[in-house]
Amino acid sequence: MRQVKTLGLLGTGVIGGGWAARALHFGIDVIAADVKPEMEEWIRNSVENAAPALARLTSAPLPPRGKLSFTTNLDEMAAKVDFIQENIPEQLPLKQRILAQVSRVAAADVIIASSTSGLMPTDLQKDMTAPERLIVGHPFNPVYLLPLVELVGGEKTAAASIEAAAEFYTYIGMHALRVRREVPGHLTDRLQEALWREILHMVNEGVATTRELDESIIYGPGLRWAAMGTNQIYHLAGGEPGMRHMLHQFGPCLKWPWTKLEAPELTEELIDRMVEGTAEQAAGRSIRELERLRDNYLVAVQQSLKPFNIGAGATLNALEARLYNEAAARAQTSVQDPNQPLKLFEGNVSPEWVDYNGHMTDYRYQHVFGEAVDVLFRQVGIDDAYRAAGHAPYTVEMKVGFRSEMKQGDAFYVTTQVVDADDKRLWLFHRLHRVADGVIAATGEHLFLHVDAKAAKATPFPTELAAKLAALKAAHANLDRPEGAGRGIAMKKA
- Domain with residue 197: its CATH number is 1.10.1040.10
Same domain, 368 and 406: yes
CATH of the domain at 39: 3.40.50.720
Over residues 198-203, the mean pLDDT reads 93
Return the higher-pLDDT residue of 343 and 259. 343
Helices (H), 89-209: 92-103, 121-124, 159-171, 188-204
- Range of the structural domain that residue 270 is part of: 189-284
Compute φ and ψ for 66, nearest 5 degrees.
-70, 165
Alpha helices in 26-141 (DSSP H): 39-57, 74-80, 92-103, 121-124
**Is residue 176 included in any domain, yes or no?**
yes
Give me the pLDDT at residue 314, please.
93
pLDDT the model gives residue 135: 98
pLDDT score, position 494: 66
16 and 151 co-located in one domain: yes
Percentage of the chain beyond pLDDT 70 is 99
**Cα angle at 372 between 408 and 68, to 5 degrees?**
50
Strand segments (E) across 291-390: 342-348
Pair (133, 235) in one structural domain: no
55 and 100 co-located in one domain: yes
Average pLDDT of the residues in 172-180: 96
Are residue 402 and residue 373 in the same domain, yes or no? Answer: yes
Closest CA to 171 of 28, 348, 52: 28
Q: Does residue 201 register a pLDDT over 80?
A: yes
Judge whether residue 102 has pLDDT over 80. Answer: yes
Instruction: Give the domain-ending residue among 244, 259, 284.
Output: 284
Is the pLDDT confidence value at 335 over 70? no
Last residue of a domain, one of 164, 185, 206: 185
pLDDT the model gives residue 324 = 85
Mean pLDDT, range 1-30, rounded to an integer: 95
**Could you tell me the pTM of the whole model?**
0.82
Averaged over 441-461, what is the pLDDT?
93
Q: Are residues 94 and 212 in the same domain?
A: no
Q: How confident is the model over 254-291, as pLDDT tens digits?
A: 777 777 778 788 889 988 988 899 889 888 888 888 88
Model pLDDT, residue 420: 95
CA distance 354 to 169: 31
Task: List phi, psi (to 5°) of 349.
Answer: -70, 115
Task: State mean pLDDT over 153-170.
Answer: 97
- Residue 422, in any domain of the structure: yes
Q: Is residue 321 part of a domain?
A: no
The b-or-e profile of 153-175 (16+ CB within 10 A means b, else e) is bbebbbeebbebbbebbbbbbbb
Q: Is the pLDDT of residue 418 over 70?
A: yes
Give the residue with greater pLDDT, 334 vs 476: 476
Whether 67 and 79 map to the same domain: the answer is: yes
pLDDT confidence of residue 357: 87
Asked, for residue 72, whether it belongs to a domain, the answer is yes
The answer to which of 20-34, 91-105, 246-260, 471-485 has the lowest mean pLDDT is 246-260
Domain end residue (candidates: 125, 160, 185): 185
Number of domains the chain is built from: 3
* DSSP per residue, 437-480: T--EEEEEEEEEEEEETTTTEE-PPPHHHHHHHHHHHHHTTTSP
Residue 297, domain member (yes or no): no
Same domain, 181 and 201: no
Question: Rounded CA gap, 432 and 443, in Å?
Answer: 6
Residue 140 included in any domain: yes
Considering the domain architecture, whether residues 125 and 226 belong to the same structural domain is answered as no
For residue 354, the 8-state DSSP code is B
* Mean pLDDT taken over the chain: 91
Residues 227 and 175 both lie in one domain: no
Same structural domain, 207 and 123: no
Confidence of residue 205 (pLDDT cuts 50, 70, 90): very high
* pLDDT of 459 strictly over 70: yes
Same domain? For 119 and 223 the reply is: no
